[in-house]
């Protein structure tokens, strides 16, 4: 997995880690939708396939963006969580969301995060960050 | 190209438009590296292939993120430019770059944009935006 990076451009380097939509949707589920289990990611509305999900979880863990531990409720499952490095991708997710809110009529404005995000971006980011930093 | 979106989540909707690394690298070249021609995108250090480049340019234009016009210096070429909608993706690129600057030792710190970005994010975004808004 430790390919040589294609360039030292910081945008490219970030995209080499999380530059595909499914990785970012898993991160969204972890950071914004309170999900932490394989089956929960699988049940998201975008219908990620099991093989892509398994691949992205492995990759994100290898890249230090997420971590996993045994699920105390079920020893054959894992609980996933963002690392500090993963949590610090929240501003990327927020800017993607803001862009759609400004331009895409398909945005579901009833989603709770959408309302909060539109009201105050900084406060929204702080709230999410503090939720994980307390944990 | 106008598939039904997989969900109304604004993060998903943005990723359905620009959720692949090559689209974002083309945008980076347009917004931050002063590139506007096919051959210029092709010469970037990440070595995008011609078929992916052609596909992404078409897609980004269809999605209203970039526009093209005939190149006055060569009638068989186009000059590409970001639309307002494309320009408004600058904060996404900036947050990706900031993340790498914080975490990735492979970042080339001699790149001029890297220095400016680390000094003052808001000023950096304003400077880039104004460059295109004047045009």
pLDDT digits over A99-115, tens only?
999 999 999 999 988 98
Q: Which of B56, B96, B102, B124 to mutate to test the interface with A (most CBs of A within 10 A)?
A: B96
Instruction: Return d(Cα B66, Cα B73) in angstroms, integer.
Output: 20
Residue of B nearest to A27 (CA): B11
Q: Which of A7-11, A62-66, A109-113 has the lowest mean pLDDT?
A: A109-113
Instruction: Return d(Cα B102, Cα A58) in angstroms, integer.
Output: 22
Instruction: Return d(Cα B12, Cα A8) in angstroms, integer.
Output: 28
Q: Do A104 and B10 touch (CB under 8 A)?
A: yes
Least CB–CB distance from A107: residue in B13, B101, B104: B13
- Asked whether residue A110 is domain-assigned, the answer is yes
Q: Is the dihedral of CA A98, B17, A3, A25 positive or negative?
A: positive
Q: Do A106 and B47 touch (CB under 8 A)?
A: no
Q: What is the span of the domain harbouring residue A24? A: 10-134
Q: Which residues, 6 or more positions from A45, have their beta carbon under 8 angstroms from its beta carbon?
A: B6, B7, B9, B12
Per-residue confidence at B32, pLDDT binned at 50, 70, 90?
very high
In the structure encoding, which two tokens stand for residue A61, read together?
């863990």
Q: Do B15 and A85 touch (CB under 8 A)?
A: no
Per-residue confidence at B80, pLDDT binned at 50, 70, 90?
very high
Question: Which domain CATH number covers A72?
Answer: 1.10.10.10
Query: Residue A133: its pLDDT value, please?
Result: 82
Identify the three-state secondary structure at position A10. helix
- Asked whether residue A57 is domain-assigned, the answer is yes
pLDDT at position A122 over 70: yes
- Asked whether residue B5 is domain-assigned, the answer is no
Q: Which residues, 6 or more positions from A10, have their beta carbon under 8 angstroms from its beta carbon?
A: B96, B97, B98, B99, B100, B101, B104, B107, B108, B111, B114, B117
Instruction: Return d(Cα B125, Cα B90) in angstroms, integer.
Output: 7
Q: How far apart are the first and last CA of chain A?
A: 30
pLDDT at position A1 over 50: no
The pTM for the full model equals: 0.95
Identify the three-state secondary structure at position B105. coil
Q: Do B8 and A92 touch (CB under 8 A)?
A: no
- Asked whether residue B83 is domain-assigned, the answer is yes
In angstroms, what separates the C-alpha of B75 from chain A's closest C-alpha?
A: 32
Q: Do B11 and A97 touch (CB under 8 A)?
A: yes
Place of tokens 């998201």: A44
Number of independent structural domains in chain A:
1
In the structure encoding, which two tokens stand for residue B128, read together?
């880039």
DSSP letters, A32-53, are HS---SHHHHHTSTT---HHHH
| Residues comprising chain B, all counted | 135
- Asked whether residue A20 is domain-assigned, the answer is yes
Q: Region B100-118: what's the mean pLDDT?
A: 92
- Asked whether residue B1 is domain-assigned, the answer is no
Q: Do A96 and B16 touch (CB under 8 A)?
A: no
pLDDT at position B118 over 90: no
- Asked whether residue A5 is domain-assigned, the answer is no
Q: Which residues of A touch B98 (CB under 8 A)?
A: 10, 91
Q: Which residues of B touch A85 (CB under 8 A)?
A: 103
CB atoms under 10 Å from CB of B14, counted, come to 25
In angstroms, what separates the C-alpha of A66 from chain B's closest C-alpha?
A: 14
Place of tokens 């292939």: B49
pLDDT at position A38 over 60: yes
- Asked whether residue B3 is domain-assigned, the answer is no
Under a CB-based contact definition with an 8 Å cutoff, are residues A41 and A31 in contact?
no
């Amino acid at each position: 997995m430790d390919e040589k990076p294609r360039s030292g451009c910081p945008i490219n380097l970030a995209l080499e880690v999380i530059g595909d939509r499914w990785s970012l949707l898993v991160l969204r589920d972890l950071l914004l939708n309170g999900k932490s289990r394989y089956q929960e990611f699988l049940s998201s509305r975008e219908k990620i396939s099991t093989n892509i999900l398994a691949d992205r979880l492995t990759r994100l863990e290898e890249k230090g963006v997420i971590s996993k531990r045994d699920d105390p409720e079920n020893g054959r499952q894992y609980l996933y969580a963002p690392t500090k490095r993963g949590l610090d991708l929240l501003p990327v997710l927020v800017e993607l969301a803001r862009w759609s809110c400004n331009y895409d009529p398909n945005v579901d404005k009833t989603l709770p995060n959408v309302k909060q995000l539109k009201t105050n971006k900084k406060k929204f980011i702080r709230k999410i960050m503090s939720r994980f930093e307390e944990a």
